[in-house]
Amino acid sequence: MIRSLIFVSLFIHSTLAQKPSQSSPTKWQTLNGEQPLVIARGGFSGLFPESSSFANQIAVSTSLSDMAVSCNLQLTKDGIGLCLPDIRIDNSTTISSIYPKGQSTYKVNGQSVRGWFTVDYTSDQLLSNVTLMQNVYSRSNLFDGQLPISTVEDVTGIKPPKFWLHVQYERFYIERKLSPAAYIDTASKHMSINYISSPEIGFLKLMNSKVNKKKTKLVFQFLGLEDVEPTINHKYKSILQSLDSLVKPYVSGILVPKEYIWPTNNDGYLDEPTTLVDDAHKLGLEVYAYGFANDVPMSYDYNYDPTAEYTQFVDNSKFSVDGVLTDFPPTASEAIACFAHKKNESKPKNGASLIISNNGASGIYPGSSDLAYQRAVEDGADIIDCSVQLSQDGVAFCLPSADLAGDTTAMLPFIDRKTVIPEIQPEEGVFSFDLTWNEIQTLQSQLVSPFGNSSIIRNPANKNKGSFVSLSEFLEFAKAKAVSGILINIENAAYIASNKNLDIVAKVATALTNATFDKQSTQQVLIQSDDTSVLSKFKGIPAYKRVLKIKEKIGDAPKASVDEIKKYAEAVTIPRSSIVKVNDFFTVGFTNVVKEMKAANLSVYVYQFRNEYVSLAFDYFSDPIVEIATYVQSVQADGLITDFPGTASKYMIKDVVDPPLPPLGKVNEPKDVENLPQRGGSRSGLASAANVGLSLVAAILPSLLLTFCS
């Protein structure tokens, strides 16, 4: 049974050779003034089973060079230390199928707990027969049943920069005649343990007399405020008020839920921070925060950008935590190395790809509202867009769709106007060309989630904020703000002309002329449509660049098709799915579409980018910036059309300089991959997982996480 697995030697070597900068011209507001520590909870547990060899190796390879790998210690019947998420191991391993009759019930800190426990098995029984599973069910199960349990020695054997050992149930093990303290005493003679944490004061008091404090820091973990610490029988909220007397004598730091530091109110927005970090720092205690993960709902203030949350904790005007415990260490590293201390940087204009808004900053405010456009400009959009709609009386205005039912409050007051127009959409709606401009202005804009009835909703405080914007107002706004350009999107022109006797093309052309966009060269004008007859109307105007929007997923762009496109357009807009292939929510490679389009001298704009983790492939790490990096560096798209211009702008900040990309490498399978246990009779999921996702990860990570950040 293997204890380490080799992925892509080029990937790992390039990673180790090109770590992000560790220095910053600004002193950190940590206790010692040094950069905050990134602690990988069970390695890269956001993607791989916790504490698996994959999780630990990839965490080390993709994080800051002084990071720490954590292990949650569990002891076997014969006293061997294993790294597993919880004292019950049935939701993180295959033990229930290997030993189906092995359930036990134990008292754990006074509570009856039923499940499978390491104390009922020898190390040989577990290491030889049982494999790991992802214990967060919303994450990929592609690696389930493929990777062996890691011993503590396995984890330290990969030589992580720092090693963090967590001991949560010391009393439970003592009652079973097993001693975590004795195990650590023996283990520390042949391995380096930089941190030991525990929620039990009694255990830390014991370890305080045993460890070399110059080599090992002791850290007290706080659980829920109402939970009871088992050795002194105090609630953690009570201990928090007595740090000086109850905690400080035995430890050098505390590990607290992030909500202890920056609480979130019942509406999902941040409250004012507590004074915990300052209070602890005044006592000489370091403060580490836990609970960070990219793929769980976070405060709406962060707009689904996990780097914004990390930055909030390490770079604000009041304090910095001394470290973050995270399931996604590459993202924490990215935030600390590349985005902290950059708040006053000028907005980038040097990015290889244009940042094009999608109905303004429609992830934050109702699409096409005045506030969405204002935010898009503030967030660094190069191009702002207007999808033009017409009212019944011929007023041209900006709105994501001709159907007002989704993006406004039209459905209730104008329910008698709802209809089905198959030429536009299969669902019934209330359409703009059936209402006068005065009627439309009685409505409110509406911020909607693109994910239906899921729990992933957008900024509810802004749901109905903002005003409608006419096309003429949009054009004047763009001129006043001096953005690099505008994108005008025209759809349904044929239907509107033949059924409503309205000429949307003429309305757009007149508005552009009145705003003198046809006679200037300082701002780009992109005319986009999925209808070639519309684009033909704008032929011969040098100031305009025609863009054909391709709505369908395509996997190839044959020369004949490209030559036909060139008759009508100088650029194309294509969906992401036409460029990066995805299988089982993992990326598997690139199509040739962009290469073929660019070979014909067509610019390629890609839509649409969103921050929400549910829209991202697993190997984008639930981090929208990883996806952006892929399309900027690997795909080399000419423009990204995004609901969140600020996230794209953050990636393309001018101080981030990318090293050359390595060639796409083939993942090397471990030599004894065929001997790994299989689930469900399938061939090696490990082999397919490696080849499915990680070959592309090998290409994109150097372009993002290995940046040099000055």
Residue 124 pLDDT exceeds 80: yes
Q: pLDDT averaged over the chain?
A: 88
What type of residue sits at position 608? Answer: Q
Residue range 305-326, pLDDT digits in tens: 999 999 999 999 899 999 999 9
Residue 3 pLDDT exceeds 70: no
For 601, left (φ over 0), alpha (ψ -120 to 50), or beta? left
Residue range 390-424, pLDDT digits in tens: 999 999 999 999 999 999 999 999 999 999 999 99
- Whole-number pLDDT of residue 452: 80
Q: What are the residues facing 388 on neighbouring strands?
A: 398
Alpha carbons 331 and 705: distance in angstroms, whole number: 8
209 or 693, which is more confident?
A: 209
pTM for the structure as a whole: 0.90
Q: What are phi and psi of 82, to 5 degrees?
A: -115, 160
How do the domains of the chain map onto residue ranges? 37-339, 354-652
Residue 7 pLDDT exceeds 90: no
- Name, of 133-147, 362-376, 584-598, the range with top average pLDDT: 362-376
Q: What are the residues facing 217 on neighbouring strands?
A: 195
Fold of 37-339: TIM Barrel (3.20.20)
- Whole-number pLDDT of residue 705: 45
Q: Which of 90-94, 562-566, 649-653 has the lowest mean pLDDT?
A: 649-653
Residue 10 pLDDT exceeds 70: no
Q: Which of 620, 616, 622 is nearest to 451 (CA)?
A: 616
Mean per-residue pLDDT for 644-654?
87
Residue 283 pLDDT exceeds 70: yes
- Whole-number pLDDT of residue 653: 66
Q: Which of 200-204, 439-443, 586-590 has the lowest mean pLDDT?
A: 586-590
What type of residue sits at position 582? Answer: V
The fraction of the chain above a pLDDT of 90, given in percent, is: 82
Alpha carbons 158 and 160: distance in angstroms, whole number: 6
Q: What is the dihedral of CA 207, 213, 216, 220, to 10 degrees?
A: 50
- Whole-number pLDDT of residue 709: 53
- Whole-number pLDDT of residue 84: 98
- Whole-number pLDDT of residue 346: 57
- Whole-number pLDDT of residue 277: 98
349 or 657, which is more confident?
A: 349
Show the beta-strand stretches assigned E in 293-373.
Answer: 323-326, 354-357
Mean per-residue pLDDT for 489-504?
97
Within this chain, domains 37-339 and 354-652 share the same CATH topology: yes
Angle in degrees, CA 66, 67, 72, rounded to 5: 145
Alpha carbons 630 and 620: distance in angstroms, whole number: 9
- Whole-number pLDDT of residue 224: 96
Residue range 206-263, pLDDT digits in tens: 999 999 989 999 999 999 999 999 999 999 999 999 999 999 999 999 999 999 999 9
Q: Which of 417-431, 608-622, 696-710 has the lowest mean pLDDT?
A: 696-710
Residue 676 pLDDT exceeds 90: no
pLDDT band with cut points at 50, 70 and 90 for residue 670: very low
pLDDT band with cut points at 50, 70 and 90 for residue 25: low
Which tokens belong to 695? 């070959």
- Whole-number pLDDT of residue 26: 64
Helices (H), 71-187: 95-98, 123-129, 152-157, 170-175, 180-187
- Whole-number pLDDT of residue 351: 56
Q: Give how far Cα 191 sits from Cα of 157, 215, 426, 494, Å.
A: 9, 11, 65, 73
3-class DSSP string for 597-627: HHHCCCEEEEEEECCCHHHCCHHHCCCHHHH
Alpha carbons 376 and 374: distance in angstroms, whole number: 5
Q: Which of 518-527, 565-574, 678-687 has the lowest mean pLDDT?
A: 678-687
Alpha carbons 504 and 534: distance in angstroms, whole number: 10
Domain 354-652, CATH class in plain words: alpha beta
Which tokens belong to 167? 């001991």
pLDDT band with cut points at 50, 70 and 90 for residue 690: very low
b/e string for 683-706 if b means 16 or more Cβ within 10 A? ebbbbbbbbbbbbbbbbbbbbbbb
Q: Which of 49, 56, 124, 114 is nearest to 88 (CA)?
A: 114
The fraction of the chain above a pLDDT of 70, given in percent, is: 87
As separate numbers, helices (DSSP H) first and strands (DSSP E) second, the chain gives 26, 28
Alpha carbons 488 and 471: distance in angstroms, whole number: 9
Which tokens belong to 111? 């509570």
Residue range 562-579, pLDDT digits in tens: 999 999 999 999 999 999
